[in-house]
């Protein structure tokens, strides 16, 4: 049986909540997660892994303690492990995260915006 094609528009139509990544694929020990971003997320870091942000639609700013990086659709950024950051968007932005299985979205910060892990759509 051939692999199944994944359509991002179809997957995004299945959820509306923000800051709640949904798994759409797994490759080895990595997951590909789709998320909607609107507003400010929490300052956090991932001590054990890098984190990749791929911007599919909209614009995303990622704040760092010493500056910021602005990203538009068609761009990506890899944040090295241990680097504190805060994603934010003034209008809804659709992103893909690529990170190891089991990575908690709020990293070391925890709190109210911590999403349930391993939610597939």
Here the CATH number for the domain that contains residue 79 is: 2.60.120.10
Whether 57 is covered by a domain: the verdict is yes
Whether 91 is covered by a domain: the verdict is yes
What is the pLDDT, as a whole number, of residue 64?
Answer: 98
Whether 27 is covered by a domain: the verdict is yes
Whether 105 is covered by a domain: the verdict is no
Note the helical H segments in 1-121: 8-12
Whether 37 is covered by a domain: the verdict is yes
pTM: 0.95
Whether 115 is covered by a domain: the verdict is no
From the number of C-beta atoms within 10 Å of its C-beta (0-12, 13-18, 19+), residue 69 rates as middle
Q: Which two tokens stand for residue 42?
A: 């929490």
C-alpha 61/C-alpha 93 separation (Å) is 10
Whether 35 is covered by a domain: the verdict is yes
Q: What is the number of structural domains in the chain?
A: 1
Low-confidence ranges of the chain (pLDDT < 50): none
What is the pLDDT, as a whole number, of residue 1?
Answer: 87
Strands (E), the chain: 22-27, 30-40, 51-57, 59-64, 67-72, 76-79, 85-100
Whether 46 is covered by a domain: the verdict is yes
Q: Domain containing 81: what range? A: 8-100
């Amino acid at each position: 049986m051939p692999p199944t094609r994944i359509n991002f528009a179809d997957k995004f139509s299945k959820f509306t909540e923000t800051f709640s990544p949904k798994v759409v694929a797994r490759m080895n020990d990595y997951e590909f997660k789709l998320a909607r971003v609107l507003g400010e997320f929490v300052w956090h870091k991932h001590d054990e892994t890098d984190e990749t942000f791929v911007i599919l639609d909209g614009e995303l700013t990622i704040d760092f303690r010493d500056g910021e990086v602005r990203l538009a659709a068609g761009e990506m950024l890899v944040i090295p492990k241990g680097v504190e950051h805060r994603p934010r968007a003034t209008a809804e932005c659709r992103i893909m995260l690529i990170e190891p299985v089991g990575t908690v979205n709020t990293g070391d910060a925890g709190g109210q915006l911590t999403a349930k892990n391993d939610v597939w759509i």
